[in-house]
Amino acid sequence: MRQLLTLSHDDAQRAVNAMRDEALRRGQAGVIVVSDAHGELIALLRMDGAPLSSIQIALNKAYTAARERKPSYEVGQKARDPERGFPMTNFGELRYTTWGGGLPVLIEGEVIGAVAISGLPESEDMEIAEIGRMAALGIL
């Protein structure tokens, strides 16, 4: 029998709070998502002033990171490379996105969930997602 670890609600709440606090510290607003290892929703926060379009984007970033077991930005690197590139439709999954800001949460190489944020500049989404990943693991 194989036992699987997964993020708990408490882990998700810690990640959401850490990402929210960092976005507020920067004077920004975004949509924050925490998913399970399959990319399905555990927690979502739409901060006051966050763009409505960021709801689906944040959901998709977490889904992509969990399913592909790598940062959403890395999934897009091949798509952005003109020599090795390919269209995202080759994945056959319309929920995949290639924007940065979605990170898998891993323990001993196993994905136990994902965190994501959307609504800020991509570089800030990526920085804040890392804070959420560490908080989900209890490192912060």
User: Quick one: pLDDT at residue 123?
Assistant: 97
Structural domain contains residue 82: yes
In a domain, 37, yes or no: yes
Task: Kindly give the interhelix angle for 9-25 and 122-136, rounded to the nearest 10 degrees.
Answer: 140
Q: Can you give the pLDDT at residue 94?
A: 83
Average pLDDT per run of 10 along the chain, which is 140 residues long? 90 98 98 97 98 97 96 80 64 85 96 98 98 95
Looking up residue 61, the CATH number of its domain turns out to be: 3.30.450.150
| Whole-number CA gyration radius for the chain | 14
Q: Does residue 2 fall inside a structural domain?
A: no
Residue 15 lies in a domain: yes
Query: Is 120 part of a structural domain of the chain?
Result: yes
At residue 86, the pLDDT reads 61
Give the residue among 59, 66, 55, 56 at the shortest CA–CA distance from 30.
55
Torsion-angle region of 109 (φ positive above 0: left; ψ -120 to 50: alpha; else: beta): left
Q: Which domain holds residue 67?
A: 9-136
**Overall number of domains in the chain:** 1
